[in-house]
């Protein structure tokens, strides 16, 4: 088991472009989360999947953001028409479905919108 | 709603000094409590956890005791090292909702100097 893997680690894009990030969770984990972290802040919850079902989306997730988890395995987070305010670290985490269990995080994708 | 409050940083210490990072929480029930650590350029790693009142979580010389009466989960270490320099996050899963969405504090940056 190699842990949670995120790709790419870094992404620089021009404002208005679309970007897509990928997350591969720990194989036996059926829960997958996306968080966003801006400089000097704690991670903020964006969305959550139980297997392939997206069960919750934060109000932070505007219409320009979409996340998928086909077949309940890897997940993608797409940002359309990026804005400078989207610059942040995007963290993926996975866990089992036991209540109050810890989540395991990937190393994150750092997005810079110029 | 459920929330976590951490002491503001940065905390700057000399090597071998004693560390305390305060964390208090607001929750409708008795959740598990976590401390995560984020080293520069990395994702979050679980440092320690406690699952019920009066439990003490410990790892790598760090300790935290779940205090229900004061709704606190302060992180302590008796003798810090330069390698402990990182950002520390207190976190809790909401008791309500039925699924594991971690809520993080803002984080406390620790800098340890030789």
Q: DSSP characters for A14-66? A: -TT--EEEEEE--TT--EEEEEEE-TTS--EEEEEEETTEEEEE-TTS-TTEE
Cβ within 8 Å, pair B99-A31: yes
Chain A contact for B29 (CB, 8 A cutoff): no
Name the least confident of A47-56, B63-72, B94-103: B94-103
Give me the pLDDT at residue B13, please: 97
Q: Quick one: what percent of chain A has pLDDT higher than 70?
A: 97
User: Do B99 and A50 lie within an 8 Å CB cutoff?
Assistant: yes
Provide the 3-class DSSP secondary structure of residue B106. coil
Query: Would you say residue B97 has pLDDT above 90?
Result: no
Residue B102 scores a pLDDT above 90: no
pLDDT at residue A106 greater than cutoff 70: yes
Q: Is B99 in contact with A105 (Cβ distance < 8 A)?
A: no
Each residue of B12-53: pLDDT tens digit?
Answer: 999 999 999 999 998 877 788 999 999 987 889 999 999 888
Q: Which of B32, B43, B98 sits opposite A108 (nearest CB)?
A: B43
Q: Please give the pLDDT value at position B85.
A: 96
pLDDT of residue B32: 87
């Amino acid at each position: 088991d190699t842990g949670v893997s995120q790709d790419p680690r870094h992404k620089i894009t021009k404002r208005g472009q679309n970007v897509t990030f990928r997350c591969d969770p720990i194989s036996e984990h059926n829960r997958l989360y996306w968080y966003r972290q801006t400089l000097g802040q704690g991670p903020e919850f964006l969305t959550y999947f139980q297997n392939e079902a997206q069960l919750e989306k934060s109000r932070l997730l505007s219409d320009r953001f979409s996340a998928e988890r086909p077949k309940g395995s890897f997940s993608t987070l797409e940002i359309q028409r990026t804005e400078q305010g989207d610059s942040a670290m995007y963290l993926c985490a996975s866990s089992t479905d036991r209540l109050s269990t810890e989540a395991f995080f990937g190393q994150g994708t750092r997005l810079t919108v110029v | 709603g459920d929330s976590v409050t951490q002491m503001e940083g940065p905390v700057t210490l000399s090597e071998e000094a004693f560390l305390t990072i305060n964390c208090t929480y607001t929750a409708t029930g008795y959740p598990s409590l976590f401390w995560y650590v984020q080293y520069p350029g990395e994702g979050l790693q679980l440092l320690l956890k406690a699952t019920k009142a009066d439990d003490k979580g410990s790892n790598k010389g760090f300790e935290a005791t779940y205090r229900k009466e004061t709704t606190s989960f302060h992180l302590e270490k008796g003798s810090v090292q330069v390698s402990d320099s990182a950002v520390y996050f207190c976190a809790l899963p909401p008791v309500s909702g039925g699924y594991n969405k971690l809520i993080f504090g803002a984080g406390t940056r620790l800098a340890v100097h030789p």
